[in-house]
Amino acid sequence: MLYDLIIVGGGIAGLTAAIYARRGGLNTLLLEGGAPGGQIIASPELENYPALPKVSGVAFVQRLLEQTAALELEIKYETVSKLHLTEEIKEVETASGAKYQARTIIWAAGLVARRLDCPGEEQFLGRGVSFCAACDGMLYKGKDVAVIGGGNTALEEALFLSKICLHVHLVHRRDSFRAEAALVQKIKQRPNIVLHMPAQVSRFEGNKRLEQLVLQTPDGREVLPTAAVFQAIGKLPSNQILSDNLALDASGYVIAGEDCCTALPGVYVAGDCRTKPLRQLITAAADGAVAASRAIAYLH
């Protein structure tokens, strides 16, 4: 079957593109490799989306999915592994070997969590090593946990966990935070948050599950017992498979302007995965709308 549009990624950018595309009459397939909704699922509460002053990431995504379901959007849960974008008919291949064709493509693959890449990290993934306090925090209720990072996300994760866990050890490699002053203030006032800074994680250790972190501090090696570690050290774009087809900047973002157009006719990029000054829900949603409207115009 030849689709009018294939959208890769079911985060806010991809789902918004789907709303505009379906309302524009496009026969649309959305391919999502993980859980629908993207990164925002990890947010316990968001406060800056216009007209929705206090809503959890999960509730936000639920409303969005209800909206797309009403438009009879076709979604397949498959990870895209190869793209052929240079011809008039574009082809998308997924990890299961399935192939789909369309006249236009919107790439909306967002960002993934950056890893520390130190010994033990891979071994304890899902067994103590997590990237999402809202998803996994309750598993460690009443226990000691650690958070790694010094930006807004790390501090928000630590505050969230401090309401569930016995102690939250906040490990940061510098001696000051990058996060907003208001968040830093809240962290300092929370009695069960313990700061370890400057300190760097050098190993993850345990048997079947994570049991401790080995930290490197100016005073030497320190062992920090912990049931879990929540890493919040930044995000990376998931654009590697595009690099044969499209220009990426030095950090791996697809180079595209506010019109979301790429150098290839019929290929658009939307959301956090493109070069832009602000990566937020509202800018991702705006990109989704713009990219879909460009695809509609191209097809007409």
Does position 61 bind ligand FAD by CB under 6 A?
Answer: no
* Residue 4 annotated to the active site: no
d(CA 165, CA 218): 28
Question: Of the candidates 113, 109, 150, which has an alpha carbon nearest to the alpha carbon of residue 132?
Answer: 113
| Contact flag: residue 38 with ligand FAD (CB under 6 A) | yes
Active-site choice (4, 118, 135, 165): 135
Helix (H) / strand (E) element for 287: namely helix 281-299
Which of the residues 4, 117, 118, 136 is marked catalytic? 136
For ligand FAD, which is the closer residue by CB, 106 or 171? 106
Is residue 273 flagged as an active site residue? no
| 132 part of the active site | yes
The only residue of 13, 102, 147, 148 in contact with ligand FAD, by rule CB under 6 A? 13
Q: Which of 4, 132, 165, 287 is catalytic?
A: 132
Tokens standing for residue 116:
């520390």
Quick one: which of 6, 8, 75, 187 contacts ligand FAD (CB under 6 A)? 8
Contact by Cβ (8 Å): 12, 288 = yes
Is 233 a binding residue for ligand FAD by CB under 6 A? The answer is no
Which window, 34-42, 64-72, 171-179, 289-297, contacts ligand FAD (CB under 6 A)? 34-42
**How far is 272 from 277, CA to CA, in rounded Å?**
10
Residue 238 as a binder of ligand FAD (CB under 6 A): the answer is yes
Query: In one letter, which amino acid is 252?
Result: G
- Cα distances from 266 to residues 7, 142, 210, 291, in angstroms, run 12, 52, 47, 10
Say whether 29 sits in a helix, a strand or coil: strand
Q: How many residues bind ligand FAD (CB under 6 A)?
A: 34
> What residues from 263 to 282 belong to the interface with ligand FAD (CB under 6 A)?
271-272, 279-282
Query: Binder to ligand FAD among 6, 7, 26, 42 (CB under 6 A)?
Result: 42
Q: Which two tokens stand for residue 11?
A: 């985060």
Torsions phi, psi of 149, nearest 5? 140, 165
User: Closer to ligand FAD at the Cβ: 43 or 130?
Assistant: 43
- The helix/strand/coil state of 22 is helix
Provide the residue type at 279 as one letter: R
- The answer to whether 57 and 157 are in contact (CB under 8 A) is no
As a whole number of angstroms, the distance between CA 278 and CA 119 comes to: 33
Crossing angle between the packed helical segments 281-299 and 12-23, to the nearest 10 degrees = 40
Out of 6, 7, 12, 85, the only residue in the binding site for ligand FAD (CB under 6 A) is 12
Least distance between ligand FAD and beta carbon 221 (Å): 31
Binding residue for ligand FAD (CB under 6 A) from 27, 46, 67, 116? 46
Q: Which of 18, 213 has the CB closer to ligand FAD?
A: 18
Residues labelled as active-site residues:
132, 135-136
Residues of this chain that bind ligand FAD (CB under 6 A)? 8-14, 31-34, 38-40, 42-43, 46, 48-49, 79-80, 108-111, 153, 238, 271-272, 279-282, 284
